Amino acid sequence: MAIVKKKAAKPQKMATVKAAPKVLVKTGAGSKKTVVPVKKKKVVVPSAAKEALSSVTRSVAHPAATRLPASMQAVLDKSEISEVLYRFARGLDRIDETQLRSVFHHDATIDLGPGMFQGTSNDYMHWVVGVMGQVRSSHHLIGNILPALEGDVALVESYATAHFRMDKPTGREDVFMGSRYLDRFERRPSGVAGVWKIMHRKQVIDWVRTEAVADIFYHQNPDALWSYRTKTDPSYQMAQFPGSQSGSKLPAFLGRRYEIKSVKF
């Protein structure tokens, strides 16, 4: 007879069960210590919190695919629109054509009135740079910004005040103006990856006042830091301020003392 050998059965793997954490409890002075297992409590996370956490996780893993809640996206959109308006004001005061062009779409249109200017953004650049070149100095301030968002379009009303210093044959004049920008912004390309810029603008003038100039402060404080309408203005040099670069030296003026009469009114 043939002898058949039976294969030995493989030992089965035992499932590993994690034991609950234990704590030591003293039952009294001089007595033995008792080990008591501690059961873990199940934490219930609200569904809204789960969704918020999931959104944050997705944004870290896939930034381009992030979709913020509507209220948060609106805050971000309004912030980006405000920055566009601020760049426009700075571009005018520094006569920085590159910055001025950055706030308009290439096919944008501007309407300041038939007797002032009406045309494309490209034509506006040539016109406004020439106009600002006739002004000795200017100072634009953006105030209330009221945007109405609708997807990739925003209708924005913003208040602005401006000061212009003019040199005329009859003497210097200060022109003060209060106006409002009525802008149609568009985000291109569509979606959160797009960039907000102005597509159409109207400027409505609310009030203007012209006064003769008495440059008393200027003549009495010639050593103050006065602005420039070129890239020699200190705002273009901020990256070289003390502390901005490793190994930069402290300003030489530290430790100098001034009397209150250093400013003359």
Mean pLDDT for 161-187 is 95
Residue 243: the pLDDT is 82
pTM: 0.71
Binned at pLDDT 50, 70 and 90, residue 104 comes out as very high
Average pLDDT, the chain: 83
pLDDT higher than 60, residue 171: yes
HSE-up (13 A, CA, CB side) for residue 105: 19
What's the rounded mean pLDDT across residues 180-197? Answer: 96
Q: Which of 89-93, 236-240, 255-259 has the lowest mean pLDDT?
A: 255-259
What confidence tens digit (pLDDT) does each residue in 106-153 have? 999 999 999 999 999 999 999 999 999 999 999 999 999 999 999 999
Does 37 or 250 have the greater pLDDT score? 250
Pure H helices in 33-120? 47-61, 70-94, 97-101
Distance CA 90, CA 206 (A): 21
Q: 166-185 in b/e burial notation, b at 16+ Cβ within 10 A? A: beeeeeeebeebebbbebeb
> pLDDT at residue 260 above 70?
yes
What's the pLDDT at 132? 96
Helices (H), the chain: 47-61, 70-94, 97-101, 121-133, 216-220
Phi, psi of 236 (to 5 degrees): -85, -10
What's the confidence (pLDDT) of residue 54?
52
**DSSP character for 231?**
T
When pLDDT is cut at 50, 70 and 90, the band that residue 62 belongs to is: very low
Minimal CA–CA distance to 158: which of 131, 185, 122, 120?
185
Give the domains, in start order, of the chain with CATH numbers: 68-215 (3.10.450.50)
9-27 residue pLDDT tens: 555 555 454 555 554 545 5
Per-residue pLDDT, 259 = 87
Q: Say yes or no to pLDDT of 50 above 60.
A: no
Distance CA 1, CA 5 (A): 13
Over residues 243-258, mean pLDDT: 83
